[in-house]
Amino acid sequence: MIRLLLLLLYAFFFSLCAFGSDWPQFKRTSNRQGCNLNETVQLPSTLCLWVNFGSPVEASPIIANNKAYAISSQGILACVDLANAAILWHKPLSGIGNVSAPATENDTVWVATQSGMLYVIRGSDGTIINSFNTGSSILADLLLLPTGIYVGAINGIFYAFDRGGNLKWSYQADQAIVHAACEKEGQIVFTDGDQHAIWLADSGASYHEIRNVSIKTLGPSICSFMPPMIWNDTIFFAKGEVELLTDFTGVFKFGFNTGSMIGRITSSISRACLSVDTADGVLFIGSTRNGLFVLGAPRNWNTTDYYSDYPFDGIYGVNSSPAVIGNCVIFGSECGKINFFSKTSSTTFGGTSLWSYMPSSGKAISASPAVSNGRVVIGATDGCLYGFWNGTEVTEPTDISDSTSTRGDVSRIPAPGTWTLFVSPNPSATGNIVIAAQGIETGYAIVLYDVQGRIIKEWRNNGPKMQRIVWNRSDAAGHTVPSGTYFAVMKNRSGMKVQKFKIVIM
């Protein structure tokens, strides 16, 4: 009892002192609420940081003591002094397709990579202090607690490390662990690939399994749950799956203390961890097709209708977990836009956009933003890290890409030159339009939208290589898709946007 009391006091002191205005891990706190209402940003803002890593930045950045840390797909870890928008150091680590967000505290940075490595790094100069090889790819974001560092791996093993990076214990789940764990009152909760939620307590040299609950609720085994989020005594699991069967998706509520399902609150398809406004419990939920949903009294609205004509710059899919702060909610979207929205809205659809920024690349923004001392930092699949605050504007990126690397990243974003795509005829006045693509990997898809953002057609490559698609504008009932402008998006196996193009029917 005394040990438990001391642990709870330590955790409370840790949450007060370690975080402050910092954003030291994915979604800021161990409960993954993604909220700091003491934080505000000045809008309109200014692009004050622009760093080119040379490969997609899909892992969410972190911030502590005015320093931001981010890792690229090809394993370049960088430390940025936000006060001066200067690169303090950067170094190559292992792994290709890295998506795990680091964690930091007291000049120590912990990083997990796709190669299965956990690194303990000195934040001041990038020196590797220790490392551990799990032998299995790590996609999940790290969980930072007073008792250690926690993360699951593709081999289905959940690892517990001390602060020095030494293994304390491990837990074998049924299937792969690909998403971040969350924590409350010393209880660590995560999901595995078999749709089970596991509650564990760290006992020091070992673990105590509190419960193991099936959370399948609806749908086939291809459905997967995103990182859980805890608000009060409820765990929220956002659920999505590849084939976009909305009947099997949604956000589900489970009792933290019981493991029992409480209810389902939306059918939105989500591949992001939802966030909460801790003042009133309003939820912010990203949807892969329908923008950002805001649910809970007194606010209920979404960005479903927040679209515009060419160029393709509406909200559309949101795979970025929102950051909820005092004066706005911040999130990236698959059209490549970084959005700053009012948390309230006078309309059900559309919301109120306060400001936005769209890089010229138009590549997807799937990383989650980090916010600290009025500064917003977020990564993009165009290989760049962007920062916004009230400061000096930058007009060119600082290049820290590894020009000597020959490593590709075709598992998530095809390397330049590995695939080609063209549409013929375009513009078109014929009944059939040919979309020819060579070298497109298995599992990739092309999704066709109208200018309102509604899905018209979807083609998924289930064979070895996608070669030729014929779009017949007339369906079996004889209905013809009307003339106008349409937008097609190529998505990779994770649902991230790789390329976009326009089709004009005359």
Per residue in 345-399, pLDDT (tens digit) is 877 767 788 999 988 787 889 999 999 999 999 999 989 999 999 999 998 899 9
User: In this predicted model, which residue has the larger pLDDT, 5 or 46?
Assistant: 46
In our burial notation (b when 16+ CB lie closer than 10 A, e otherwise), range 141-176 reads bbbbbbbbbbbbbbbbbbbbbebebeebbbbebeeb
Q: What's the pLDDT score for residue 35? A: 98
- Report the pLDDT averaged over residues 181-208: 93
Confidence label for 36 from pLDDT (cuts 50, 70 and 90): very high
**Domains of the chain: residue spans and CATH:** 2-399 (2.130.10.10), 420-505 (2.60.40.3580)
What is the spatial distance between Cα 269 and Cα 293, in angstroms, rounded to a whole number?
A: 11
The encoded tokens of residue 194 equal 């078999």
What is the spatial distance between Cα 223 and Cα 242, in angstroms, rounded to a whole number?
A: 7
- Report the pLDDT averaged over residues 191-196: 84
Strands 167-172 and 157-161: antiparallel
Q: What's the pLDDT score for residue 417? A: 37
* HEC string for 193-249: CCCEEEEEEECCCCEEEEEEEECCCCCCCCCEECCCEEECCEEEEEEECCCCCHHHC
Q: What is the DSSP letter of 472?
A: E
Mark residue 415 as left, alpha or beta (left: phi above 0; alpha: psi -120 to 50; beta: remaining). beta
Q: What's the pLDDT score for residue 265? A: 81
What is the spatial distance between Cα 139 and Cα 116, in angstroms, rounded to a whole number?
A: 9
Picking from 3-17, 225-239, 252-266, 301-315, which range would have the lowest pLDDT averaged per residue? 3-17
pLDDT at 228 over 50: yes
- Report the pLDDT averaged over residues 237-258: 71
Instruction: Estimate the share of the chain in helix, then strand, then coil, as percent rounded to the nearest 5.
Output: 5, 45, 55
pLDDT at 7 over 50: no
Nearest to 226 by CA among 155, 322, 136: 322
The encoded tokens of residue 313 equal 């710059």
In our burial notation (b when 16+ CB lie closer than 10 A, e otherwise), range 197-230 reads bbbbbbeeeebeebeebebebebeeebbbbbbbb
Give the amino acid at 102.
Answer: P
Count of Cβ atoms closer than 10 Å to residue 14 Cβ: 16
Mean pLDDT (the chain, rounded): 81
The encoded tokens of residue 97 equal 């397709």
What is the spatial distance between Cα 84 and Cα 196, in angstroms, rounded to a whole number?
A: 45
Per-residue CA distances from 84 to 63, 260, 393, 502 (Å): 14, 49, 12, 40
| Counts for the chain of helices (H) and strands (E), in that order | 1, 42
User: Does residue 423 sit in helix, strand or coil?
Assistant: strand
What is the spatial distance between Cα 59 and Cα 140, in angstroms, rounded to a whole number?
A: 10
Per-residue CA distances from 55 to 71, 380, 386, 405 (Å): 10, 9, 14, 11
Cis preceding-peptide flag for 146 (omega within 30 of 0): no
Q: Check if the beta carbon of residue 29 is closer than 8 Å to that of residue 39.
A: no
What is the spatial distance between Cα 488 and Cα 469, in angstroms, rounded to a whole number?
A: 13
Nearest to 228 by CA among 196, 202, 186: 196
Per residue in 393-444, pLDDT (tens digit) is 998 899 997 543 333 333 333 333 345 555 656 666 656 666 666 556 666 7
Q: What's the pLDDT score for residue 410? A: 30
Picking from 121-130, 166-175, 328-337, which range would have the lowest pLDDT averaged per residue? 328-337
Q: What's the pLDDT score for residue 364? A: 85
Q: What's the pLDDT score for residue 93? A: 94
How far, rounded to the nearest angstrom, does the alpha carbon of residue 500 sit from its chain's CA centroid? Answer: 20
pTM here? 0.77
Concatenated DSSP letters of 281-321:
TEEEEEETTTEEEEESTT--EESTT---STTT-S-----SP
Mark residue 374 as left, alpha or beta (left: phi above 0; alpha: psi -120 to 50; beta: remaining). left
Mark residue 370 as left, alpha or beta (left: phi above 0; alpha: psi -120 to 50; beta: remaining). beta
